[in-house]
Amino acid sequence: MGDEGSVRVDLWIWSVRLLKTRSMATTACRAGHVRVNDERAKPSTTVKPGDEVRLRHGGRERIVVVQKIVRKRVGAPVAQECLIDKSPPPPPPEALVPVGRRDRGAGRPTKRDRRELERILDRYRALNEPAPPDDDDL
């Protein structure tokens, strides 16, 4: 389980349960969502203890440091021993942009629905934008 040496990054990400399937890990690498030591990683890139792995998935970035090398999927308690998680905490739900949801089977939104949604999003953006600098600050 704690083999020394190196292992493919896609296999390691799957083994320590950062992603659910190995094919998801491989796809994330090919799409450029995985970086090892600040360099874009191919699925075949090798990782060794001490390497920093950055993974963008699910709208957030996970930053982990490799502690142990594992080649097979392990349980959650063992997986936590294989990495040091340096990820920033996820944003609070209030900070996320509201997503317009429609009832299932309601059909396509009408022009009126679209305009209402745009008005709501414009108000949300106006509230969350930083204030422009004053001319006195320049």
DSSP assignments along 34-68, one per residue? EEETTEE--TT-EE-TT-EEEEEETTEEEEEEE-S
The pLDDT, as a whole number, for residue 128 is 72
Q: How many domains does the chain have?
A: 1
- Residue 113 forms part of a structural domain: no
- Residue 129 forms part of a structural domain: no
- Residue 96 forms part of a structural domain: no
- Residue 137 forms part of a structural domain: no
**Model's pTM, two decimal places?**
0.68
Q: Which residues of the chain have pLDDT under 50?
A: none
Domain extent for 51: 7-89
- Residue 56 forms part of a structural domain: yes
- Residue 126 forms part of a structural domain: no
Residue whose tokens read 């491989």: 26
Q: What is the pLDDT of residues 20-36, one digit of tens each?
A: 999 999 999 999 999 99
Question: Tell me, what CATH number does 15's domain have?
Answer: 3.10.290.10
- Residue 105 forms part of a structural domain: no
- Residue 120 forms part of a structural domain: no
